[in-house]
Amino acid sequence: MKLETERLILKGINENNTEDILKIRSNPEVNKFVKRVSPKTNYDALQFILTIKEKVQNNQTVYWGISLKDQPNLVGTICLWNFSEDRKTAEVGYELLPEYHRQGIMSEALNAVLNFGFDELHLQEIVAITNTFNENSKGLLAKHDFILLEGKKDEGFPDNIIFSLKRLAGNEGI
């Protein structure tokens, strides 16, 4: 499932992306606000890719690698996952290598994924969870009209805050 924007190609990941996934998911700056076990080797990254491929096949997630149109390497990832049982709500997750921050890349990718989620998957709400200290992520979500859900907690992650974007009734676009 490929999405294209003016500057980007969002595409499924596979075994050929092992080194890129290792680079992205093991980057200390990327992981600064994320609690996860990051891959240490190509084998770890490959295991992650195989897990994602299985979750995509089982419709548990929609996951894209982000690349610039003029280069094949992935510079980040973005996904819709954590779908509600009725498949009307999903969570968006994203990460981008630091050298590509502040260039509008994630904003462009997020816009494409939001449109896909609302228009193709017919979601009613897309949720985003970010760290309260991650100013870049909070700014990105504000730019895309996400609303902070005051008082809503991410169980087990006290530094996280939760945002929501709901599809407007009768609005076919964002």
Residues 31-42 have pLDDT tens digits of 888 888 899 999
- Calculate Rg over the CA atoms of the chain: 15
- Cα–Cα distances in angstroms (integers) from residue 54 to residues 154, 160, 173, in the given order: 26, 28, 30
The residues near 173 (Cβ < 8 Å, ≥ 6 apart) are: 115, 118, 119
pTM of the model: 0.93
Residues 48-99 have pLDDT tens digits of 999 999 999 999 999 999 999 999 999 999 999 999 999 999 999 999 999 9
pLDDT given at position 35: 81
- Cα–Cα distances in angstroms (integers) from residue 109 to residues 36, 82, 116, in the given order: 23, 19, 11
